[in-house]
Structure 1
Amino acid sequence: MLRISQYSSVSSQQSEQQYVPLKHVSVETFIKFFAADVTIKQVFRNDETKPIEAVYCFPIEEQAAIYSFIARIDDRELIAQLKEKNETQREYSDALEQGHGAYLLEQDEKSQDNFIINVGALPAGKECHISISYVSELDLVENGSRIRFVVPTTIAPRYNPNTGDVSSPAGTTSKYVQTAPYTIEFRCQLEPLKWLEKHPPRKGRVRQIFLLTDGEISNVNEVLDLCRSMATSTRIFSFGLGHSPSRSLVKGLARATNGCFVFIPPNTSVDIHVGEQLQKALQSYISGIQVDWNLGTTVMSTPTRIPPVYANDRLIVYALANDP
């Protein structure tokens, strides 16, 4: 669902919340080797009698790199520029206050697999066409015998321990509201992780944890920072359960602690996946990998901390060079 609010140049003015569905969504994908080039096209229309600010939150593959954001209204095509977040939000607000249309795409600060589109001052009766392109690596599955391409389509309701208002950059009164046709009891317990941090294993030993989660929490970065602090003594093998676990959380837990991750689709036997992860937990792996590029120029490698490599795993390291 798309949440909209009646546009007003006065930030303190209250606005009535209304909801409209997306009119159309399409996904185009080009897959080559271990990478996917994805373009998501979304169309929505302002059926109200006044201009609105539309704010749409959508999921995207964890660690994907967005390289294009285009908005089209009537015969106008606007191509986004990459700018620092605070500067961009300020320019967006200024444009709305001056009565101009403005478009903003930003990453959710609490979860790397969610992005937020702001379409400000969308005229009454007009359609807005949004096109987003990104590239991402594909995961190896079934002990490295296959690759899997996933387009996240659902943002499950996520527990947030710090409840509060969520406002748009333009200052219009609005909140994110997500509903589900069932009752969900959220349990986000940081206390067990904090206990593990305070009670490390005996010297010379490594603790290995199997963690099953639906990933429905919003404080992903806080959880990952806590796990990263005990990575020298603890490895987490994470399992993403259900229709829409946070891929940022499930992958991040394993990556932060040199473990492994797996996503288990609904109506699938958990035992098989647990057995595969147990085999990895018991096997040796390659760690401490360093890459010498020999390019004769300044090079920045990513990932900055190369993860361990298990049997049937794949490792891709990128070099960003000033003068290749």
Structure 2
Amino acid sequence: MTMNSWGLLTLWKEPIPLKSIEVQLEVKDHVATVVSTLNYENQEDKPIEAVFVFPLPGDAAVCHFSAQIGQTHIVAEVKEKQEAMEEYDDALSSGQQAFLLEESEESSDIFSLKVGSLPPGESASIGLEYVTELAVQADDGLRFCLPAVLNPRYQPQGSDGPSGQVTSVPASLVPYSLSFSVQVSSPHAISKVESSCSLEPLQYLNTDQTQATVKLAAGHKFDRDIELLIYYKDAHQPTAVVEAGQASAKPGSLMGDPVVMVSLYPEFPQSVMSSLTSCGEFVFLMDRSGSMALPLDCSNEEKRCISSARDTLMLLLKSLPMGCYFNIYSFGSSFEHIFPTSMEYSEKTMNKALKEVEKMDANLGGTDILQPLQHIYSQPCIPEQPRQLFVFTDGKVGNTKEVIDLVKKNSGSHRCFSFGIGDEASSALINGMAKEGGGHAQFIIRTNRMRPKVMQSLRVALHPNVGDISVSWDLPKRVSATILSPPPAIFQGQRSLIYAQLTGQSSDATEGSVTVKYTLAGHPHQNQLHFDLKPAEDSGLTVHRLASRTAIRSLESQQRTQSGQQDEEVKKKVVELSVQSGVSSSFTAFIAVNKARQFKSAQRPVVLRYIPKDNLKSLRTDIQPPRPGKNLLLQLVSLQKASGFWELDTDLATVLGKIKKEVKKSKPKSVGYSQYKEQ
């Protein structure tokens, strides 16, 4: 298999020391603004050209890029990608310093930064800024993830991409430090902030606890993703934020007009929610590539990604409704399935599946997810049994957009629920599959959060499908709204975001409303929100950038499914919107040239090489460490029967810390044999 190499690289195959990373995170309600500064130093005796390949959240809107070389500060512009690359090459040919930041054409969460003509002995500080929405978790926490240096991603045979060797070094030798500070503000009181890493105590800035700061504890090595969970009181409140347009932008353009961000939390009628469907075909797709043998997180070397995926799958299997249909596929470089076709769920079929799941290990090589997906989509669906696809993967693939497009193409007959396993799963792949597949995404990083996440996704899968979604507006005369992307999938109690451009002006009315209509279980329903048209103060251009990112992603997806003249027209729209808004896209790049200073630059091809990272192991397929024992909850679930009961036997008593006689004695008299089976 072929694996990419990632990190900061030089022409002379020597890594430039990454001295430090400084990250400032500002969270306003459910929107995060991230300002990162990466500090490097050229310790060579000659000017160098370097390439830094790194991850960002897949749904981030990168909106600022700058470079500080010595006393010179350069701010980049967004230009069409080919034009930007030619300008970069021309600058280096003439001995000028130049910087190029571009998004990968294969995955929206991979960026590469080229630093041209870095003088000997000088330092370089690279500034990046992006905005992103924070996803709501099963326990109502808002999740932010700061990706570490990108891990290798599997390239299917025949695909293009740089290759190299993967190395591993002890944590003590990771050469760079990280400072990470967070400021949170919200209309709702901040309950707590949790993290997968050690934090300093939360500091409230006012008496109503709506503003707070927190920092990463000293001594942290940036050797894994940093997950942050923010909890508010009464956070499930519909909101709408109107942001004024940019004064210097052309009226009628996206940046020149006001933009509204509507945040809805649909609540379905209780009569519908109390009658969850008991039908459906549940197809589970398990990643068994070599990288799944790596630890789930660095704080627990024994718990592997593959064992977490097995436990997650077991919980789902134990929770399926009687009478549904199911099958389990697993994949690596090739794929396997437990049953030739989906089988009816029963005690017999569940037990057979569980035995096969228990034997699954990370021994199937690379991460070629396209083959099994194509096979699953080619299988005929069972009448009156809507197919639900559950995917478990660490997300280390190099053809992310191709996978997402395949999911989107089949979204009419398959809902897709994705689980990112481990703290380095690709957010672009996991979120993209769920979004385009009309499903729900979850990230399994710590075992103590696995059960609520699994149950949340299963509840969503058992809900009747929401269809015929439409959005209408009630606005003052001469004011109209244009939605910037198709309406999102709607789930009970889950946030749905809608962005719209507001055109026209009215001095008479200051209020508008938006109504989302849809069908649920064959009946029409709607949710309505009234909002103030007066622009919010001190919101900057955050909403405009998020709206631009949403529109750009929608157009890019449309462009990939078209061909010929239509394809070129959509691409042109993407470039225009990206340049106008200053937000990155797959067809544009940030370019900065320091024309005030020139050097003699060497003309050699760039050689890619990885900056070491402590928890990155070679992706061998023969890693077989002993499996740790299951926790008590998983032991208890493993004894549950398909119909929901437990047999009163010695195994159950052992899990409960009792002897069989004690458990039998505590059985309520009102519980009959059919409810509480003894043996």
Under a length normalisation based on structure 1, what TM-score does the superposition of the two structures give? 0.86
> Greater shift after overlay, 252-261 or 19-28?
19-28
Query: Distance between the aligned counterparts of 1:19 and 1:84, measured in 2?
Result: 30
Query: Distance between the aligned counterparts of 1:258 and 1:248, measured in 2?
Result: 15
55, 59, 77: which one aligns with 2:55 = 59
Measure how far apart 1:149 and its partner are: 1.7
297, 300, 312: which one aligns with 2:493 = 312
Measure how far apart 1:232 and its partner are: 0.3
Distance 1:271 1:30, change over 3 A: closer
2:399 aligns with 219
Measure how far apart 1:130 and its partner are: 0.8
1:24 aligns with 20
5, 8, 13: which one aligns with 1:3 = 8
Measure how far apart 1:290 and its partner are: 2.4
Distance 1:103 1:298, change over 3 A: farther
AA in 2 matched with 1:190: L
AA in 1 matched with 2:34: V
128, 134, 142: which one aligns with 1:132 = 128
Measure how far apart 1:197 and its partner are: 2.4
2:651 aligns with none
Query: Distance between the aligned counterparts of 1:242 and 1:312, measured in 2?
Result: 26
Equivalent position SS for 1:292: strand
AA in 1 matched with 2:82: N
* Matched residue count: 305
464, 477, 483: which one aligns with 1:284 = 464
Measure how far apart 1:309 and its partner are: 1.4
Distance 1:232 1:128, change over 3 A: same
301, 307, 312: which one aligns with 2:483 = 301
Post-superposition CA distance 1:22-45 (Å, at most 9, x none): 111011011111101110111101
Measure how far apart 1:305 and its partner are: 2.1
2:87 aligns with 91
Query: Distance between the aligned counterparts of 2:440 and 2:372, measured in 1?
Result: 20
Measure how far apart 1:320 and its partner are: 3.3
1:198 aligns with 378
1:209 aligns with 389
Measure how far apart 1:223 and its partner are: 0.7
1:243 aligns with 423
Query: Distance between the aligned counterparts of 2:43 and 2:504, measured in 1?
Result: 51
Computing the radius of gyration from Cα coordinates, the structure with the larger value is 2
Task: Confirm or deny: 8 A CA contact 1:73 1:127 kept in the other structure.
Answer: yes
Calculate the aligned-residue CA RMSD, in Å.
2.4
Task: Confirm or deny: 8 A CA contact 1:285 1:308 kept in the other structure.
Answer: no
Task: Confirm or deny: 8 A CA contact 2:134 2:143 kept in the other structure.
Answer: yes
Under a length normalisation based on structure 2, what TM-score does the superposition of the two structures give? 0.43
Task: Confirm or deny: 8 A CA contact 1:35 1:138 kept in the other structure.
Answer: yes
AA in 1 matched with 2:17: P
> Greater shift after overlay, 22-31 or 311-320?
311-320
1:148 aligns with 143
Measure how far apart 1:164 and its partner are: 4.3
Runs of 5+ consecutive residues of structure 1 not aligned to the other structure: 7-15, 167-174
Equivalent position SS for 1:18: coil
Query: Distance between the aligned counterparts of 2:51 and 2:481, measured in 1?
Result: 38
Query: Distance between the aligned counterparts of 1:22 and 1:191, measured in 2?
Result: 38
Measure how far apart 1:59 and its partner are: 1.2
AA in 1 matched with 2:10: S
Task: Confirm or deny: 8 A CA contact 2:7 2:54 kept in the other structure.
Answer: no
Equivalent position SS for 1:23: strand
AA in 2 matched with 1:225: D
Distance 1:163 1:229, change over 3 A: closer
Q: Report matched runs for 1:77-88 at 5 Å.
A: 77-88=73-84
Higher helix share: 2
AA in 2 matched with 1:301: I
AA in 1 matched with 2:389: I
Identity among equivalent pairs (%): 32
Distance 1:199 1:2, change over 3 A: closer
Query: Distance between the aligned counterparts of 2:63 and 2:411, measured in 1?
Result: 32
Higher RCO (C-alpha 8 Å, min separation 6):
2
Distance 1:32 1:125, change over 3 A: same
Distance 1:123 1:181, change over 3 A: closer
